[in-house]
A and B are shown apart, each in its own frame.
Chain A
Amino acid sequence: MIRNGEDLRDRYKDWILFKRVLVHLKPYSRLVGLAIFLLFAVSLLNLTGPYLTKIVIDDHIKVGDLNGLDVIAVIYLGVLILSFLFQFSQTYLMQYIGQKVMFDLRSKVFAHLHKMSFSYFDRNPIGKMITRVVGDVETLNEMLTSGLILIFSDLFTLFGIFFVMLYLDWKLTLVVCVVLPFLAYATRLYRIRARDALRKFRSHVSELNSYLEENLSGMDTVQCFNREKINLGEFLTINSERLKEDLRTVRYNAFYMPSIDFFSSLAIGMVIWYGGGRFVQDEIQLGILVAFIQYLQKFFEPVRDLAEKFNIIQTAMTSSERIFELLDTPEQIPESVPSRKDLTLKGNVQFKNVWFAYKEDQYVLKDLSFSLEEGESLAIVGATGSGKSTIVNALCRFYEINQGDILFDGQSIKNINKFDLRRQIALVQQDVFLFSGNIMENIRLGNVQMGQEEIESISQAVCSHNFINNLPFKYEQELNEGGGDISSGQRQLLSFARALAAKPRILVLDEATSSVDMETERQIQNGIKEITCGRTSIIIAHRLSTLMHVDKVLVLRQGEIVEFGKRKELLQKRGVFYKLCQTQLKSEKFVTGRDSNGS
């Protein structure tokens, strides 16, 4: 079986990714500055403990002075309270910033997805896109709030300790520093290996998950082909590889973490040997020695921490990589024409030598030219795959045409803002997509100012008012996933109401009646008459009976026009369209009610 692991290639360098994540912090730079300051203060305050210990030992215990001790205790308490307040504000502030950034980023990804053209959605599975908007942004937030804080606070602590030690006794500090190169070397060895293992591990995890998911959704097929044993074997193989990499990371950690402790002990050993020797010679105070030991124990905590959190940061890097990859996907039909909200088309449509291909050089529309006057209706007739729906896609500018031009009221489609254009066109498709929410919301969509009365009159016009009124909650009836209890004909009527509510100048019905049986179609027929009235309309339908009232007809064969003209003229011409109608008439006579699935 094929492996669906993650691509292990680096598309972006880690530091570039990091920089791009940081850019999103820019709007909050003041807050970030404050957070870093607080972080700095907290790190410093956390260092006071051992220093106070030094003072207690050297200035009080050694000289037997009880008086100052209470003051020290009070100072300590003050430090603790301050540290508490700072740390709380810092945590909240950082989380707040992280959430804000996540909000921005998620909105941005969501908005960017809406900018993508249909060809993007044709190519990418929905699950993958959901992961970008939901999961990946979440992971990235974790890096911002936990990862970034960690890096700062750990660095502050490391440097803070280093400088306090230098201040206390620079010679001893330098001696202790001898262990640092070894620590750095060990860290490097660990980092390279752990990174490799982690990446491979994650790749295996996603491979395992897609294998599992595929098997779960295709379980019927798996069982029908007696694949249980084989698939279990394959699953075992992938799972074993995953385990192998997982155990590798466990082993690297198991080596590296104790080694940090060993370096820590080594450093303390240095203090005992060198510091103890100098104490004997009265060159150093006892309190400093004790403080040094305590500082050293604190010094290695951030190092260990960074290693523990390495995984989080690595995962976040992968997520940010995927997010930026999506954000870097260019908009295929960029909008440069400024929007004119008041734009109202009269409804003249002209196709001028239009060429279009979904895939390079496989033209679906070939040199197509036809025109429609304001208020005229056009029927497009043709076999499956002749390019009928493609005309609609080009008209709504869901795809960019390759050559030629489409003119609306004499204006080129390229000079009209695509959103303005789509606002003038209402498209009714074969599959009616109903959103969760009630019927009213499904009719008016985003036009929230549209009132109940207006919607009712629209519904009455397309003959959907009756069935809606018979639902238990009428217009407030919630529709569950997939539309629930209403029939396909009723769904179609709802989509007509939705189209009419958009107050379009141009109406497009793309096989809008194919999924309903003839009985329902008869009911819908009146609705169609109503919504096409007074508007430029383009109707695509399998059944010619739907097309009996149109002004013009276009017969399409493999992307080319076979016949185009006024319906009546074409009938007189006795060409292809005439023959089609004849067959249809015969068929009408035969059909006595029942029809299977509209084929």
Chain B
Amino acid sequence: MKHLKTFFPYIQKYRREFFWGTFALIVTDAMTLVVPWLLKEFVDSLSGKPTDGQLLEYVFFLLLISLVLMVGRYGWRNFLFTLSRKIEFDILNDLFKHLLSLDRLWYQNQKTGDLMSRATNDLRSVREFFGLGLLILIDAVFVIVMAVSMMGFINIDLTLKVLIPLPFISVLFFFFVKEIGKRHKEVQEHLAKITDRVQENLSGIRVLHAFVQEEYEKERFQKLNLDYIKKNLRVTKVFGVFTPTMVFSMGIAGMISLWMGGKAVIAEEITLGSFVAFNGYLMLLSWPMMGIGYVFNLTQKGLVGMERINELFSAKADIQDGILGDIEIKAKEDVEFKNILFSYPGEKKNSLNEVSLKVSGGQTLGIVGVIGSGKTTLVQSLLRFYDPDSGSILIGNIKLPEISLKTLREYIGYVNQEPFLFSTSIRNNIVLGKGNVTDLEVEKIINAVGLEEDLKRFPDHLDTLIGEKGVTLSGGQKQRIALGRALLKNPKLLILDDSFSNLDSDMEKTLLENLKNSYHSTTKIIISHRLSTILHADKIIVMEDGTITEQGTHSQLLELGGVYSNLFRNQELAREMEILL
């Protein structure tokens, strides 16, 4: 129940809707209870040969009641369902807002599918708890108490006899729901297995087709599919007994009422009208009896949902925002790493091991190293995706953690190897980091990243939609769009993390030239596997196992005759080969 606490403020916000909805519901229920009584009066009056006027009076009352009922029903439906929808709306907004504030370390341990399921399925069960659950609870309790009282008022003896099978229904419902829930979980888990299998089949489709595994896979899938059916039918077995049992129990009550009630009428213990009304009240009971069990079910699901959503709300970002507010970091500030030590949580090996490095403002740093040598970790610590375990990073004279994240991210433009593009137009992807951008500015960027020729081939030029994660674009186009959106921010520190890997050497040359000319005051850090990209950097470092093993200018490193010079010669020859082809 402790999870409920988080959600109280949401109900609090809509307490007026809650009040009016509940009020309308109770009025409705009360009116529903009047109807059998009216019918009783009508039936009893029949023996006295009522006039047309008297009959019309009954009709009038009936219609009056049903008008009130109509308004009441409209009222509770509108208020209570709207309430739950609005709560869902608010929770989802707050959840999204919270998710936006969480950091990289947290996201690394999450699966998008799981997050989505919390934001959709779990939220739905919370909504149903607040909407349907509360509604049924109020409704059922009120109707049961009132209807049973009315029945008791008509004839207490008959009531007791009739009510014998009824509590049975709620108990039954409760246990059935529990059993169904258990079996249903098995079904859900099996469905997850099916999903995984389909996913694997689709990801490996090229191998499967090349090795003609279609029939084998179909067979395997059918087996899995068949098990799924069996598990489903296990649920059906319980469920199939459940509904008829419910109807049966209500039927038994009806039978007793008809049988004992009929005898009571003949014995003149009750009037015929009372007999009819009694039956009427009994009919009113059937739904709330089931409802009570249903509430248990909804509550159970709702609480689980709340717990899972609460887990998201209670997640905290490790990275603390800097205390310095909106400050302007000057261009050409030095960037300095001092004895940086970092290891990813759960890993023994240090990803960065005592790295010390100074990048002078306005200069270009090139970083080379094999996969896993710590290049990306080093530059991402500048973005504060992670904070180092020890050591410090300075921009100018300011300590990195003191700078607010907003300022820092305006200051840095970061382009990685596989940029994430949004499924919108090319224009929107480029203006991502900036609010008001003129067409001229965009055009300037397009030219700087050499996209103008590509754009001509797209149907709607800048406004061409690029599809989910940019499926319609080539790798090189994606990288250039990503570079464009970083440049549009006019960053004072530009980090290119192997972001030219899909460009041909001519294009790469053009872009580097453009960067040099138009962004000469920007400090640049360039990671690349292709040495031609960083050849002219003011300083080049070689990284190995989280440490810097060589540093200097291109010619200095060549002279050194180490890893860098080997790499360079190797690549030179490969290039010659390419030229020949």
Contact = CB atoms under 8 A, between A and B. Distances in A.
Given A114-B214, A251-B78, A220 B248 contact: no
B73 A265 contact: no
Interface stretch (A91-99, A192-200, A322-330): A91-99
Given A259-B70, A596-B529, 6 more contacts: A73-B259, A88-B244, A126-B199, A224-B412, A269-B63, A419-B212
Given A225-B409, A502-B211, A53 B258 contact: yes
Contacts of A224: 383, 409, 412, 414
B283 A594 contact: no
Interface string B564-580: 00110111011011101
B112 interface: yes
Contacts of A65: 266
B247 interface: yes
Interface in B181-209: 191, 194-196, 198-209
A398 interface: yes
B89 interface: yes
Contacts of A88: 240-241, 244
Contacts of A225: 409, 432-433, 485, 489
9 contacts: A56-B258, A80-B255, A87-B247, A91-B236, A114-B201, A225-B432, A254-B81, A265-B66, A269-B63
Interface of B: 35, 39, 42-43, 46, 49-52, 55-56, 58-59, 62-63, 65-67, 69-74, 77-78, 81-82, 85-86, 89, 92-93, 96-97, 99-104, 107, 112, 115-116, 119-120, 191, 194-196, 198-218, 221-222, 225-226, 228-229, 232-233, 236-237, 239-241, 243-245, 247-248, 251-252, 254-255, 258-259, 262-263, 265-266, 272, 275-276, 279, 283, 368, 370-371, 383, 385, 405-406, 409-410, 412, 414, 419-420, 422-425, 428, 432-433, 435, 465, 468-469, 471, 485, 489, 529-530, 563, 566-567, 569-571, 573-574, 576-578, 580-581
B77 A261 contact: no
Interface string A89-120: 00110011001101100110011011000100
Contacts of A96: 233, 236
Given A56-B258, A258-B69, A265-B65, A218 B420 contact: yes
A76 B69 contact: no
B347 to A, nearest CB: 14
Contact of B195 (A134, A257, A262, A429): A134
Given A1-B428, A433-B206, A590 B279 contact: no
B427 to A, nearest CB: 11
A111 B420 contact: no
Contact of A422 (B63, B210, B240, B580): B210
Contacts of B205: 114, 118, 121
Contacts of B55: 272-273, 276-277, 280
Given A2-B423, A130-B199, A280-B50, A580 B577 contact: yes
A265 B262 contact: no
B419 A2 contact: no
A258 B258 contact: no
A266 B63 CA distance: 7
B409 A110 contact: no
A52 B262 CA distance: 11
Contacts of A382: 581
Contacts of B42: 272, 276
A338 to B, nearest CB: 15
Interface string A551-583: 000010100001000000000000010011001
Nearest to A70: B259
Given A250-B78, A250-B82, A84 B212 contact: no
Nearest to A276: B55
Contact of B570 (A103, A264, A591): A591
B570 A445 contact: no
Nearest to A290: B276
Please report whether the interface of chain B is mostly helix, strand, loop or mixed according to DSSP. Answer: helix
Interface stretch (A156-164, A209-217, A345-353): A209-217
A408 to B, nearest CB: 15
A214 B421 CA distance: 9
A276 B58 contact: yes
Contact of B243 (A87, A230, A255, A436): A87
Contacts of B563: 594
B221 A110 contact: yes
Interface residues of A, number: 148
Nearest to B222: A107
A114 B58 contact: no
A583 B243 contact: no
Contacts of B201: 110, 113-114
Contacts of A231: 100
Contact of B423 (A4, A239, A273, A383): A4
B211 A84 contact: no
A382 B50 CA distance: 104
A210 B92 contact: no
A103 B225 contact: yes
A110 B58 CA distance: 63
A427 interface: yes
A91 B241 CA distance: 9
A583 B52 CA distance: 114
A564 B574 CA distance: 22
Contacts of A243: 85-86, 89
